[in-house]
A and B are shown apart, each in its own frame.
Chain A
Amino acid sequence: MTVLEDIVTDENTSGQMDVPEKTGPRTIALVGAPNAGKSTLFNGLTGGNAKVANYPGVTVETRVGLFETPAGSQFNLIDLPGIYGLSARSVDARVALSVIQGQTEAFNTPDLMFVVIDAAQLRTHLQTVLQMQSLGKPMIVVLNMMDLATRDGLEIDAAKLEEKLGVPVVAATSTRKAGRADLLKRLDEVMASETTLQESAAEEPDLRHVQTTARQLASEVILHEPGLNKLTRTLDNILLHPVAGTFLLAAILFFVFQAVFSWSTVPMDMIDGSIGALSGWLAGVLPDNWIQSLLVDGIIAGVGSVVIFLPQIIILFLFILLMEMTGYMARAAFLMDELMLKVGLNGRAFIPLLSSFACAIPGMMAARVLESERDRLTTILIAPLMTCSARLPVYTLLIAAFIPPTAVGGLFNLQGIVMFALYLIGILSAILVAFVLRKTLTKGETQPLIMELPTYKMPDPWELLLGLWQRAKIFLRRAGTIIFAVSIVLWVLISYPGDTLRTSFAGMIGRVIEPIFAPIGFNLEMVIALVPGMAAREVAVGALGTVYAVADAEENTQGLAEALQSAWSLPTALAFLAWYIFAPQCISTIAVARRETNSRGWTALMVIYLFALAYISAGLTYWGARSLGL
């Protein structure tokens, strides 16, 4: 996405002629401690939609956007991963430092830095400012989160700070417009004054000395410094409690799974109903020929069977976003740290793993914040075991078709329990695999944990809606592109040349690999769906939709779930579920693993071990279920 915005930025600027003397816009880098609000400011200034969330290490790659000051100068703004100081140990910090120091091909050396710090943590964050100052670049200090500092009763003499630092200091609240106009005005002033650069320090300043100076300065400019935010203190007393906190985390996760199931039934039925009505109507008005079949049995059956799951995806992301925006995510990582320690992983690895419940791709990228390469590698390798949102359609479809909604213990529902179990098996195997890897291939010292826990923040409803809308768009775009294309191609391959599936092109291809899957109970239809399903997991659902719609075209249109009920045995269905816990049926995940590990070997290892686990567990499930007489 960065590349894309890069191109957009370039296009915008190449047509620009009225900037005298200078070739193209100047470059500004957003620098500062993690979670200080750099990306929020970036979005505010450029109108971009960089990911913002309330935990350190959200931004792990660069992003560029364009903005203009009232005086009419244009600037390229680069959003960077957060750094506390100048020693870069993790991948993301290395990226940030190399951009600041002009050591990358991708960007011009920044002409200026916006150093963003959390005003409420001025005492600690001032040392970040001083370290950045030693780089000798012009800068403007953004005292961000002023709203929170003021709420807590913190009083800062910004004018004095500016005088002492010798650089402009702007108080701002990036989530709102507060301070933005001031920032732009100061920027114009700095640019007009053509300040001569200070010599950058020959060698890095002594950190201890920097700290002493920072603390002294803090004491001079902080007029009133109250204690820690009360709400955060109270909430942490409960949420980080070793017993109550852990119990609450489990309860929250369980509640999420139940909600994904139960809250979605009504909207899903509505979508299902409209899709059924649409295909019924089309079947009525169109002549009974191949066009009708392509539309109804191919496209609508394929795309429709996936679109139904939109409500579930939205509900899942609602909870993930809430956890990210409130600051609970970092607490979850804290609670899980002991387990991570036992497994041999860095506690911060929990955040990438938790984001992998949305999708393994951002999860793997978030692993860049881990300092040890071994940790990062292990995290990348196990990220696909976290049940990503694309598995929801597969799981839900099969659970709805094969697991009765029996009440269990008066409180729970068997379907929800099976779903929870599928997630749990994924998590437990991830723990197991990590443990084995850390004992063998990625052996190394146990890693430290040094992670800031942000204060709790109230999620902005508008931001939340925007985040959900983005996720919905991604899901629908996939349905409208990949699944749409697969449905058409598959319809052709199934409909010709023969009359039955077995004699169609798809059948011929499927029969080649069918023998591989026959021992674990998969039938030809499933095998055919698995092939395009390599593109993405939910594509398999679309493919099954098309396969069974074409097969059952003569009968009255029935839902995919009913079709599966009559076509599959219970052991087969369970085996398919077991397969999907592990199988790396997602090309983009594999591609990103390749990019992030920068190694064919590790990528191959990941793909092979996942397929092996998938095959073995599907086989065990199938034969186990059969021997139980299911």
Chain B
Amino acid sequence: MADLATETPATQTMANQTHASGTPVIECRDLEVSYRTRAGTLPAVQGFNMVLHPGETLGLVGESGCGKSTMAMAIMRYLGHNGFITQGQILYKGEDMAGFSKERMRHLRGNEIAMVYQEPMASLNPSMTVANQLSEVSMVHEGASRKQAEEHAREMLDAVHLPDPSRIMNCYPHQISGGQQQRVVIAMALLSKPSLLLLDEPTTALDVTVEAGIVNLIRELAGKFGTSLIYISHNLGLILETCDRVNVMYSGQVVENGSVAEVFRHMRHPYTRGLFGCIPSPARDRMKHPLMPIPGQLPLPHERPDGCFFGPRCDHFRQGVCDHGYIEMEEAVQDPPHKVRCRRWQELADDALEPPPPPPPEVPLGDTVLEVNDLQKYYRVTNASLIAFLKKQRTRWVKANECLNMDALEAETVAIVGESGCGKSTFAKVLLGLEEGQKGEALVMGDDFSALTARKRSRKQISRLQMVFQNPFDTLNPSHTVGAQMARVIRKFGVAKGRKEVREKVYEMLDLVKLPREFANRLPRQLSGGQKQRVGIARAFVSEPQVVVADEPVSALDASVAAAVTQLLNDIQRRSRTTMLLISHDIHLVRYIADRVVVMYLGHIVEAGTVDEVFAPPYHPYTEALLSAVPQPDPDIVKKAIVLEGSPPSPLNPPSGCPFHTRCPRKLGAICEQEMPPTVDVGGGHRLACHIPLDELKAQDPVFAIPADAKG
């Protein structure tokens, strides 16, 4: 490490200890974890200090690659064969873990320190029943008999609110839903009442409404068992909802830490602020507070600059101040403690926030470009079970889309929101001609596209409707250069001919999406996720389409990158007056960039209207739950807590009556189970489908309330 430290790590931790009593459960002192790679030994985490007291919840937040998961693995001492603790110590209840024998570590793992993982399905053994996987823990750590262990496991499944624990005990992991799997993993972690629970992005793989349930559960259990938690997430909102204290990490270092309330109210580090500025919030008007992406991207471990690692992306970078030496954590506030790793934090006080750029001019909307009437799409699946064969029900239908009605105007952005399995992607596929619709029509500039697969469309029709795909790693062919792939589209649609013109056009498109021209000669694997997604956008807009369908265009990207891509997509779309259908699960992103919103559940449109209409009462009960489920990183927002039970039913077997009745918190009774609610027009094109009388719905409180005295 570079310069002489002004404050030794030991004294730092001493200072931290003063406010809490007893030995901390876990303590990291000036920890450095490195991986040995072909490029040499690279530190993944540097100068990490942390103290966690019994019963406390600590959040680690940062974007992918910042070293937060490495921390969890370092505590578990499970770094693979190429990872090492190169400096510092981890103390467990005051003892240095470096001295622990293998046997001691084994006793610790799963017994005193337990972990919950990101992907529940992959974390459970596919060929063992839940009962076997759970009972192992008590058997190995407590020497319980199989019977006792199973009894204990059943109790624990009950404690994590799984319905019918006895049935689940006998299931294999693939037989239960993702949310249930995660509950099983949590139950497994809590079986031996550990003193420390590590949660590594426990809800990232789940739908928002399911996530809300898990988060609730974690909070409840931590209180009940008195377990200390380390909660690792990329989501500021989740951290705010679950933790007492937070460490914000960037490129292997903690850049800011302190109590949650303090850090979220008075962010001091430019990175934390930047991260906050990247997330659309219901409290901020989208015109007055546009998203402010952080430029650039996270440096790779061997590309870290001298001085501040955030320097190259920081708006407040100052030469001679930020670009040399090792930057120490400095105490900004003593009580509640709040530290920052920034040389200029004092100059950058709360009010020094840069003024937001002027809002973009409103774009006048044009004529109807897209019109969908009663569109229906079922998939046929063959059931291979003998019972189905005997009952002559071999073919069943997945009811992906049921009676969709919507339209979109020129230059308008219409968002389709819903969780996985709601049929939003199927709808996109039908529009694009990857699937055929069965009934109804989808008119694009008057031509019915619903029954035309891409192969049957004329080149002109194809060029009218283009798509931005979801997965940046999949959207470009890894075998061809970026330029070649764009050139192919240009030629295909006859946008330009001749070698030189095509090349010019490629450059022009790269300029449009703000990528350097050299990228034309690169292969996709040399680009980052955000850059690939930009190429995808360029490719979609080459043919100057009337309609662009964007299927979760930023869901796989980190927040700071996602904001920039969202911004770009929005700009290009407005400028070229293209109609955009934005398919997303992120209702706040939608609110930020869409004009109108369509909310889907299980193949049905449950609510549709302009952004303002949908985000204010009257709500459809599902919309209300969806809005409340998304965690918000703003401590000033007060929101209704509506937690849905269970997970969405399978579209193979949709419930009768209202599709939402199995989970609806406001369910009226028999009528919801038997009758399909009519779609009523609330006024001004705002439609929703629910049996609850309109007046009652109108009397709802808004999901979000912002107290008058708070900023906003």
Are A and B associated in one complex? Answer: no
Instruction: Give B residues with C-beta under 8 Å from A.
Output: none
Instruction: Give A residues with C-beta under 8 Å from B.
Output: none
